[in-house]
Structure formats: structure tokens, C-alpha cells
Structure 1
Amino acid sequence: MRESLSPSTQTAYRSIFEKYAKFVARLETNNSNSTANITPELVALFIADCYKQGLAVATVQTYISALGFFAKLKGLTDVSQTFAIKRMLSGYQKKHISCDTRLPITPIILSKLIHSLPFVCKSMFSRVLVKAMYLLAFHAFLRIGEITGTKDNHGNCIRKENVKILSSPDEQNKHIELTFSTFKHSAGKHIPTIVIKENSIQNLCPVKAICDYCNLRDSKDGPFFKFMDDSPVSRQYFTQHLQASLAWAGYDYKHYKGHSFRIGAATTAAEKGINEEKIQAMGRWHSAAYKKYIRIHSITLD
């Protein structure tokens, strides 16, 4: 049953259970079997504690899903499906309405980020690397965890074998075929292939950016985006460069995160009139969650 979860989800769920176990320990329960303590009564108190901490609704929902999973793993009642817990979460959502303040990186902002690179990157390699990451993140609706990793945990990182650069029969045009070995919520789901075509504006073309990066990258397997020493590009490195690019372009980087590329891609697709089903497929969403990523603030009617 554990194998039904992706490695990153397993890690997250273990962390959540540790938080819950510490909370139960603070209540000084006498039951030594902490897993058996996943009861509706204790989980209700845990939710109340989360509310006091001001945690987001989505975070608490993930916590309860994890606890429900561990309960089922031990043959216990899935607390996440009990009436009382469902009602508590419903009330939590009504009382704790939060607004996602992350702004989308639009094509205009993306262009400015690309133009910032000669000023914020210290080497030619880093300019080529970060440019490829910016453009692929936007055009492929990528999560930051799909382009960054750590030495010991590549997680859902795109690997070299996932990226193919192909030419048309007449060799006049190129495109990228991007596949995924795994991605968030991919367990048991169809693994799609994303096709990215050339852009007529050379400096903003994702295909050219990837080709330029591949000319510098060696042919070794492993995370696609990596440094010369083979270590994967870290989230911290990417975030630092994104913040520097935004500051150079005159934007307040506090309102933009790595996920802003994904938000911007969904918003741009919606503004272009691409149908919802295709947007959902492009972003690999398996529910209506993609609608939260579309940030169209005004519509002009002719």
C-alpha cells in the first residue's frame, strides 16, 4: 500500500505523522501505540491546534489525508472520512479563507527575466542554465520540484532521458518532447508527453534555450538540470536567481515564487482561449485544481 504513493509523498506523509505524534505526546496520552491514537477525537484536537497556528486549509487537508492513510495502513478507521472530521474541515475552510498571493509570471515578465540574466548571472554557463530553466518551466507548466533537487534526493526531477530534441523531416524545425518518470500525484496515473515547439523570437525560444544548454551539458544520465560537478540545481540556487532577476526587472520578488511559472503558464493559456480540458492536460492536473492557477483579473468585451 505504501508503494501506491510517490517517494516525495511518502516523505511528506512521514513528516506529517511525526508532527501528529509530537502533538499527541504533548497531550500526555497513556497509549504507547501512537498509530492506534489516530482517532476522531484526537484528530479533532489536532485540527483545532492547526487552526490556532493559522495553517492554511490546504495544508491541514493534506495532514488529515496523511493520517487517514496511516490509519488504513494499520487496519483502523479512516478518520479523514468520518462525519465529524469532514464537518470540522468544512468549518475550517469557511473560517479560514486564505488568498494565494503568488502572482503569475506572464510572457512580458518572462521576457524581462531573460534580459536580466547577463546582469545577475556570474558565468556564461549559469546564464545558459537559468535561461533554459526559466523557459522550460513556463512552457511546460513545471513545478519547481521538477527542475530542482538535492544530491541525495532527486524526487520528481526531470532527468536527461526525459528530454528529447527532435527535428522535422526536412530538418528545418525542431521541437522538444518532454516525458515524466514521475510527478506529484502521478501514482497510478497516465504519464503524458509534452511537445514544445519553437518560438519565432530567438531569445525567448525554449527549444533554442534547451539546445544551447545541452551543448554545454555532458551526456551523463541523471537530473537534466545540473552543475558541472554533476550535482542537481538546488531549489535555493534557482530561487536566488529568480529573485535577482525580478529585482533587476523592477518587480517585488516577494509576490513571485517558483510556482509562478506554472501559474503564469495556466493564466496565459486561458487568456489565449485554450479550452479547459487541454489546460488541465498540459499542466498534468487530474482535478479542477487547475482553476486556482488561472489569474485573469479582467475581461474586455468587444
Structure 2
Amino acid sequence: MLLMGVKRELGLAQIPVDVITPDILFKIKSVLSFNKVFDHAFWCACLTAFFGLLRPGNVTAASTFDPNKDLRRTDLLLCSWGYLLSLRYSKTVQFREKEITVCLPRIDNPLCPAKAFDTSLDRTTSADPLGPLFIVDNSTCLTYRGFSSKLHEVLSFAGVPNSNIKGHSFRRGCATWLHRIGIPKDTIKAIGYWSSEAVMRYIDTDFSHKVHTMTAFGESFTNP
């Protein structure tokens, strides 16, 4: 009863992270130094998380590289349309019961994930194929802490208010953008590998879309 009273008083509402948008990705890219291996790896990880609707733990190592869980170079396959990335382990896939595949297309846009990987892989050709996919220094892999710290740093340099932008903002941002351009919820759910209706908690409906919808709703009335 005490817990129920506390919940009633304080509420159970969760404050979701802010979304990463294509505009913010452009700003992130503008402040990166692509002559640095770390910045290249970070940029590839950002695009992978966004295009793949992935959690930050999917693209980074917890601390040291674990070849049984973390992304390896051999998990990335070059295709005619871009790259296919295979994830063997995630929050919802812990016993290799299935494999999650991520499409990283080749597009005519500065945010092209395939072009980013082209350059990154070319600069690390001597790396171990069974080693980490995102190399930040010699054979050192990109960690969760390193990714989060770099994200905070580049957002600050880019002048983006980032008080509530976290690693999870990429997954939520892509889901929101797909919804905004008219992709059906079931398709978003399938791409993001949601097994429940939790996907709706990730979609941040644009306020202007709400206004447009309700205006159209009102205009549908007929005068008596």
C-alpha cells in the first residue's frame, strides 16, 4: 500500500530520451575530424545505430572486446546495394536463437553508411577479420563509455542541446523518422526487431503532424 501511495503521488511516467534526427547527424558529421581513426569509427557506429534502429550496446563493447558477442569485421558483408551487417548477440538475442541483420544501403547522400564503411575499412585493411568492427586506435575497439563520451563531446561542439540525447536516441530517432515519412508501424516493428507493441513508446509523433491530422479531421465535417 505504501508503494501504491508513492506511485500515485509521484507517478510512473518515464522521461524518454530525445531523438537523433538526420539534421543532428549532419551537425555531428560537421565537427568530426575524419583524418582520425577514432572519429571514423564513431561516425560508422552512429550511422549503424541509426539505420539499424540499434541500441548502443549493439554497436559497442562493454569494456574489452568479446568476439563471441561484439561486432567483428567478418560480420560485415559487402553487397551490390551496400553492406549487410549480422548481429549474433543483443539484448533480445542472447542464446543465438536467431541472427539480426542490418541493411546499410549505398545512397547518394552525405549520411551514406556504405560510403562511411568504405573509407573506414580501407584505412584498417591490415586489421584482424575476427577482430572488432569499430577500431578506434590500433586494435582497440569502441566501448560504450567511449561512444557515450564522444557523443556528448561532438554534440557540444556542434551546438546541439544534448541534455537528454543518449545512445538510445539513435534507435528512437530512426523509428520516429520512419513513422514521420509514412512507414507502417508493423514495418518499423519488424525492422527494429520489436516483439511487442513497445515500438509505440519509441515513436515520437511530430506536433505539426498532430496539428495537420486534427485540422483535416475538423475539415471533414459537413455543415447541417
- TM tier relative to shorter chain: 0.7 to 0.9
2:181 is aligned, of 267, 272, 281, to 272
| Moved >6 Å (runs of 4+) | none
Counterpart check, 1:139 vs 2:47: no
Q: Which of these residues, 244, 254, 257, is aligned with residue 153 of structure 2?
A: 244
TM-score (norm 1): 0.62
The one-character-per-residue Cα deviations of 1:173-201 (angstroms, maximum 9, x if unpaired) are x4111111111112465423222211211
Between stretches 132-141 and 215-224, larger displacement belongs to 215-224
Alpha-carbon distance in structure 2 between the residues aligned to 1:210 and 1:223:
14
2:72 is the alignment partner of 1:159 = yes
- Structure of higher CA gyration radius: 1
Q: Which residue of 1 aligns with 2:170?
A: 261
Code of the residue aligned with 1:251 in structure 2: it is: V
Q: Which has the higher strand share?
A: 2
The answer on whether the counterparts of 2:74 and 2:129 sit within 8 Å (CA) in structure 1 is no
* 1:1-302 pair list within 5 angstroms: 92=7, 96-118=11-33, 124-149=36-61, 150-151=63-64, 153=66, 156-167=69-80, 174-187=81-94, 189-201=97-109, 203-217=110-124, 218-298=127-207, 299=209, 300-301=212-213
Q: Report the Cα distance in structure 2 between the residues aligned to 1:156 and 1:105, rounded to whole angstroms.
A: 26
Partners of 1:277 and 1:220 lie apart in 2 by 35
CA deviations on 1:134-161 (whole Å, 9 max, x unpaired) are 1111111111111111216567422222
* TM norm structure 2: 0.81
Q: Is the 8 A contact 1:145 1:156 kept in 2?
A: no
Secondary structure in 1 matching 2:17: coil
State the one-letter code of the partner of 2:115: K
Cα distance, 1:155–1:269 mapped onto 2, change above 3 Å: farther
Q: Which whole-Å CA distance do the structure 1 matches of 2:98 and 2:7 have between them? A: 33
Partner of 1:67: none
| Aligned-residue RMSD, C-alpha | 2.5
Q: Secondary structure at the match of 2:140?
A: coil
CA contact (8 A) 1:145 1:155 kept: no
The aligned amino acid for 1:134 is C
Q: How far apart are residue 291 of structure 1 and its match?
A: 1.0
Letter in 2 for 1:145: G
Q: Which ranges of structure 2 fall in alignment gaps of 5 or more residues?
A: 217-224
Q: CA deviation at 1:101?
A: 3.6
Q: Report how many residues are paired.
A: 206
Letter in 2 for 1:163: L
| Distance 1:93-1:212 versus aligned 2 partners, 3 A rule | farther
Q: Distance in 1 between matches of 2:64 and 2:175?
A: 30
Superposed CA deviations along residues 34-71 of structure 1, whole A, max 9, x for unmatched, are xxxxxxxxxx9xxx7xx6xxxxxxxxxxxxxxxxxxxx
Measured in 2, the distance between the counterparts of 1:277 and 1:208 equals 29
- Cα distance, 1:94 vs. partner? 9.0
Q: C-alpha offsets along residues 64-105 of structure 1, whole Å, 9 cap, x if unaligned?
A: xxxxxxxxxxxxxxxxxxxxxxxx7xx958963223241000
Between Structure 1 and Structure 2, the one with more helix by share is: 1
Deviation at 1:223, TM superposition (A): 2.5
> Match for 2:140: what amino acid?
S
Hey, what's the Cα distance between the residues in 2 that align with 1:95 and 1:215?
53
Amino acid in structure 2 at the alignment position of 1:235: Y
